[in-house]
Amino acid sequence: MKHSQKYLTACLPGIIALLGGASSAFAAAPSSASVNFAVLSAAPDGGGAVTCTRAIIDGNVGSSGLPASVTQTDCTITGAVVAPVSANAVTEFNNEYSALKAVSQCTETFSATSLGNHTFTPGVYCFDSAVTETNAVWTLNGGSTDTWLFKIGNTSVGALTGTDFKVDLVNGATACNVTWWVDAATTMTRGAFNGNILAGAAITLGGTTHTAGTPPVETFTGRALATAAVTLTDVAFVGCEGSTSVSKSRSKCNQGVGNGPESCDPGNSNQDGFNSNPFSGSRRTNDELGGVPGKPGRLGN
């Protein structure tokens, strides 16, 4: 099994259980919190390109394009670049997208395309069509284990568009427990966005133009997972890992080659040169990604 495929495999049982019990709010974190890509272009028929310009991506990046394409211009990616991801990984992502689409029990439903400043407690919020916000703040008020699902374009074609749009987290709410299911494209210009985006078309994230070599002004935290191209320009993108922040510490592991991946900090294990660990918050990778004695596993091998 290819490692890009492994990243998505664990998602499906969780989402089935989640959807079976969905009512006014999630009983567990959205399944996208298990996807170990910060940025993923999972175009089912190819053409899935990732373009990163004057940006920083803290996490793994995957592309399913034909040919696979991850283009970096003054762009730093601290995780692994997987291009192409496996065909099965694309299938599993699309299955997850379809499963979220099927969630029908909404805490609240909106016909308006703009709410302006608004506060949301944990729950499932359904928007009939597109949402466009400018100079607005959506405040998510809840604890560290609470979850939110926003469905954009729930009953008709709907894109998510924000300009100087901020998603604020208060009282312990975390970006990795927020999911945005979007029927069509997602376009964010400046602002401060939080949450895992699963888009039915392209994702475009843009910040304030800045000089290459200096930190971007805007930070987006979560994931950008699309069935088409993903473009990031002048932004710092901090990817989620598991259902918690990438900064969460893990216990040490020293398992040895060939015993499978661990959900832990590989600080006591052999290190490879990929400068990332798709199974934990560490930016080092142990040698246990499916390797066997004499042939340690390496991401992409």
What is the pLDDT tens value at each position of the chain, 301 positions in all? 444 444 443 333 333 333 333 433 443 334 443 367 899 998 866 678 999 999 999 999 999 977 889 999 999 999 999 999 878 778 888 888 999 999 999 999 999 999 999 999 999 999 999 999 999 999 999 999 999 999 999 999 999 999 999 999 999 999 999 999 999 999 999 999 999 999 999 999 999 998 877 889 999 999 999 999 999 999 999 998 532 223 332 333 344 443 333 333 333 333 333 333 333 333 333 333 444 444 444 343 3
What does the alpha-carbon distance between residue 19 and residue 35 come to, in Å, rounded to a whole number? 17
- Residue 220: what residue type? F
In this prediction, residue 46 carries a pLDDT of: 64
For residue 118 the two structure tokens come to 């608004």
**Local structure of residue 176 (DSSP, 8 states):** G
For the beta carbon of residue 73, count every other beta carbon within 10 angstroms.
11
Q: What are the φ and ψ backbone dihedral angles of 61, each rounded to 5 degrees?
A: -125, 135
Position 14 scores a pLDDT of 36
- Tokens linked to 109: 């439903």
Q: Taking the alpha carbons of 300, 283, 181, 17 in that order, is the dihedral positive or negative?
A: positive
Q: What pLDDT is stored for residue 275 in this prediction?
A: 38
- Give the pLDDT score at 90: 83
Amino acid letter, 292:
V
Report field, pTM of the whole predicted structure over 0.95: no
For the chain, the farthest-separated pair of C-alpha atoms sits apart, in whole angstroms, at 60
Residue with tokens 């954009």: 152
Going by their DSSP bridges, the two strands 108-110 and 123-127 should be labelled as parallel
